[in-house]
A and B are shown apart, each in its own frame.
Chain A
Amino acid sequence: MERIPILRMGSCLLVTIQVDMHDQLALTLQDDLTQRIVRDKARGVLMDISSLDVVDSFIGRMISNIAAMSRILDAQTVVVGMQPAVAITLVELGLDLKGVRTALNVEKGMSLLQAAA
């Protein structure tokens, strides 16, 4: 079964989502990530969604869930690279991703995570 690769960078985990995920893949990612946070004792999770040109309420919820679960496991989550069209659509959709920190790109996201750690 295909999975989204999770890379380890220091005390942080980097997830780059490059495909339009079907629902099952998203759920698998949630599970994988939670396990890896514990296994690697990660303090931060960086989700790069710069390749996603659609984010619907399902993916939005996945992102919120990941942020919430990480927080419980004492890790910070930062989502980076949201495309303008996606941001505009999410606002219109009414999805506010509360509790999810965002940054423009991986570089800024990493400095956010490092500052928080």
Chain B
Amino acid sequence: MKEQEKMGLAAIIRNNEADILAEWIREQAAGQKRKDPIQEVEARRVSKEFLAASVEAMNSGASVEGREWDRVRDILSELSASRAAQGFSPSETARFVFSLKQPVFTRLRSELERDPKAFAEQVWLATTLIDNLGLFTMEAYQKSREGVIQRQQRELLELSTPVVQLWDDILALPLIGTLDSGRTQVVMESLLEKIVSTGASIAIIDITGVPTVDTLVAQHLMKTVAAARLMGADCIISGIRPQIAQTIVHLGVDLSAVTTKASLGDAFAVALKRTGLKVSREAD
């Protein structure tokens, strides 16, 4: 029953494609504050693609959550991402989908005016479909924005990686602020990269500036130390404050395999000794 209904809608759209497209594009442009010829060409292309893909998906008779609608969703995701990047608002972006309603309803009415029952059914179908896709578009827009922000954060982190080379063989990584799982991972990965690029044998991870440490962060720290050891470098953790020491014990993290020192200075002294260096005062 549902299949036939959908095919009715699909057939009507297909038969009136050119008209619907023209009117739809006009509706899209009406809501836009900026007029841009390149934008218009692009909008025309995407609209045509979207319509064709939607008709195909409708013909399969599948519900909108099904795989048959993947192509349609892909088109919307791409559109959302590109509009988000260009600075369009969420509603401007979703308008792409919602503005399809009017042209479709107009055609439905002209094709089905003699059959009010069918008309009502098709309108309902079209409405739920378009609403569904419109909502999806807004979510895709949202995710895309979040993605951009996360990517920028990551790039910032990588650029500002606070790994300091204290001496030929010794690196220091002073961590500051609250660490979250994602940030910790990025920073730890870049520490390992720096170890390779500088050829350091010792890395001092200083957490004096870190107020709290949770299980996940502690685990990342331990994994990084283990990975560094596999690569042939040792890590020293310095700056563990009493509260953090308590947390670590409570969490059951095993630090016995890692050298820990109270301060960055102490850690540096140990590192120097390990690499066979000594700091001595010049006799004057």
- Residue numbers of A with Cβ under 8 A of B are 79-80, 82-84, 87-88, 90-92, 96-97, 102-105, 108-109
Contact B227 A108 (CB under 8 A): no
One of A79, A91, A103, A105 near B226 (C-beta < 8 A): A91
Cβ–Cβ < 8 Å partners of A82 in chain B: 230-232
A29–B224 Cα distance when bound, in Å, is: 30
Among the 9-residue stretches B42-50, B193-201, B205-213, the one with 4 or more Cβ atoms under 8 Å from chain A is B193-201
Min CB distance A49 to B, Å, is: 10
One of A84, A92, A103 near B196 (C-beta < 8 A): A84
One of A83, A88, A92, A108 near B201 (C-beta < 8 A): A108
What is the 8 Å Cβ interface bit string for chain B, positions 207-233, against chain A (1 contact, 0 not)? Answer: 000000000000000010011111111
Min CB distance A28 to B, Å, is: 25
What's the dominant secondary structure at chain A's contact region?
mixed
Contact A96 B232 (CB under 8 A): no
Contact A104 B189 (CB under 8 A): no
Contact A87 B199 (CB under 8 A): no
For residue B175, CB closer than 8 A to chain A, the reply is: no
Contact B201 A87 (CB under 8 A): no
A109–B201 Cα distance when bound, in Å, is: 11
Contact B230 A103 (CB under 8 A): no
One of A80, A84, A102, A105 near B229 (C-beta < 8 A): A102
- Can you list 11 residue pairs at the A/B interface with Cβ under 8 Å? A79-B232, A80-B232, A82-B232, A84-B189, A84-B192, A87-B228, A91-B230, A97-B230, A102-B231, A104-B201, A104-B232
Q: Which residue on chain B has the smallest CB distance to residue A101?
A: B232
Using C-beta atoms within 8 Å of the partner chain, give the interface range for chain B. 10 to 19
Known: A96-B230, A104-B231. 5 other contacts (CB 8 A): A82-B230, A97-B230, A102-B230, A105-B199, A109-B232
Cβ–Cβ < 8 Å partners of A90 in chain B: 227, 230
- Which B39-60 residues sit within 8 Å CB-CB of chain A? none
Cβ–Cβ < 8 Å partners of B199 in chain A: 104-105, 108
Cβ–Cβ < 8 Å partners of B231 in chain A: 82, 84, 87, 102, 104
A116–B209 Cα distance when bound, in Å, is: 39
What is the 8 Å Cβ interface bit string for chain B, positions 119-153, against chain A (1 contact, 0 not)? Answer: 00000000000000000000000000000000000
Q: Which residue on chain B has the smallest CB distance to residue A92?
A: B223
Given the known inter-chain contacts A104-B196, A104-B201, A105-B199, please indicate yes or no for A88 contacting B227, CB distance below 8 A. yes
Cβ–Cβ < 8 Å partners of B193 in chain A: 84
Q: Which residue on chain A has the smallest CB distance to residue B229?
A: A102
Q: Which of B192, B196, B223, B232 has the most CB of A within 10 A?
A: B232
A84–B189 Cα distance when bound, in Å, is: 7
Min CB distance B202 to A, Å, is: 11
A97–B231 Cα distance when bound, in Å, is: 11
Min CB distance A98 to B, Å, is: 11
Min CB distance B170 to A, Å, is: 13
One of A88, A92, A108 near B232 (C-beta < 8 A): A108
A25–B237 Cα distance when bound, in Å, is: 40
Given the known inter-chain contacts A80-B232, A102-B232, A104-B195, please indicate yes or no for A96 contacting B226, CB distance below 8 A. yes
A82–B193 Cα distance when bound, in Å, is: 11
Cβ–Cβ < 8 Å partners of B195 in chain A: 84, 104
